[in-house]
């Protein structure tokens, strides 16, 4: 008897995080998308991996990911609906051997397909896996205060990161490698995917100016936690930016933090 895939731990994880991000106001309407690299051992107890429902053109070359399995949010889908109807709003796909097609194993039951940001996701997965074999998750969300900050702050990565580091003590500990920043670009195409992946060679987090943020990690918790920490720092910044700043966390103190927690700040970004 075939198991109910909706009860699989990886499906439940995606249902919970999409509901949480919608509740936080980060993913209005059909905003935001998630892709989560799965292992055959995780999926096989829930699905017949030899049964392909349909083939979906990938619209770009994903050959480095050939044979890999992902659960991906659907294009045009609302995060608020995922938990109630995962089979229409999510899909489990396998990158075909040619790298040009996606084999749908479950989901997108209403005829849907993966997020239009899939090129950015897959290019990011390729880069991050090359740097960290334990990498598994890409989350894109419209974190409100991060977006707000891109309107009023320099988009120079060192400046942007240093401001975030100074807002919360935990920031240096959580993302000592800093935050990448892209200027406004048209979303949903390969150009922004290529630019994002290029940044992901150096960063685990990339801000899309006036749009949102991309976060990566070994798990949904890690990727979300990175984004959540940046968003909290950005919120503090937009609350205080119009006021006189009497004190902040100085570079010497950021260095003390880094040493205490055994992390290495991006070289040259502290004035110490």
Find out whether 4 and 92 touch, Cβ atoms under 8 Å.
no
Catalytic residue ranges: 117
The position carrying tokens 């996606």 is: 102
Q: Are strands 205-208 and 180-182 parallel, antiparallel or unpaired?
A: parallel
Q: Are residues 172 and 264 in contact, defined by beta-carbon separation less than 8 angstroms?
A: no
List strand residue ranges (DSSP E) for the chain, in order.
33-38, 54-57, 69-73, 90-95, 101-107, 137-141, 180-182, 205-208, 212-217
Radius of gyration of the chain (CA): 19
């Amino acid at each position: 008897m075939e198991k109910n895939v909706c009860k699989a731990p990886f499906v439940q994880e995606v249902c919970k995080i999409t509901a949480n991000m919608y509740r936080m106001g980060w993913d209005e309407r059909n905003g935001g998308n998630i892709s989560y690299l799965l292992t055959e051992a995780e999926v096989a107890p829930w699905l017949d991996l030899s049964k392909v429902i349909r083939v979906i053109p990938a619209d770009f070359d994903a050959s480095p990911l050939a044979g890999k399995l992902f659960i991906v949010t659907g294009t045009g889908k609302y995060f608020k609906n995922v938990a109630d109807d995962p089979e229409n709003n999510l899909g489990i796909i396998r990158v075909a051997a040619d790298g040009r097609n996606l084999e749908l194993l479950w989901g997108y039951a209403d005829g849907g397909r993966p997020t239009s940001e899939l090129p950015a996701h897959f290019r990011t997965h390729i880069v991050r896996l090359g740097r960290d074999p334990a990498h598994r998750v890409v989350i894109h969300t419209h974190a409100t205060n991060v977006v707000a900050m891109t309107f009023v702050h320099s988009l120079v990565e060192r400046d942007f990161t240093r401001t975030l580091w100074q807002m919360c003590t935990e920031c240096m500990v959580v993302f000592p490698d800093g935050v990448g920043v892209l200027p406004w670009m048209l979303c949903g195409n390969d150009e922004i995917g290529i630019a994002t992946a290029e940044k992901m060679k150096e960063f685990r987090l990339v801000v899309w100016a006036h749009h949102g943020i991309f976060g990566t990690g070994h798990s949904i918790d890690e990727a979300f936690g990175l984004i959540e920490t940046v968003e909290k720092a950005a919120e503090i910044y937009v609350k205080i930016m119009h006021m006189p700043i009497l004190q902040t966390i100085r570079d010497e103190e950021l260095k003390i933090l880094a040493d205490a927690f055994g992390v290495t700040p991006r070289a040259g970004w502290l004035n110490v």
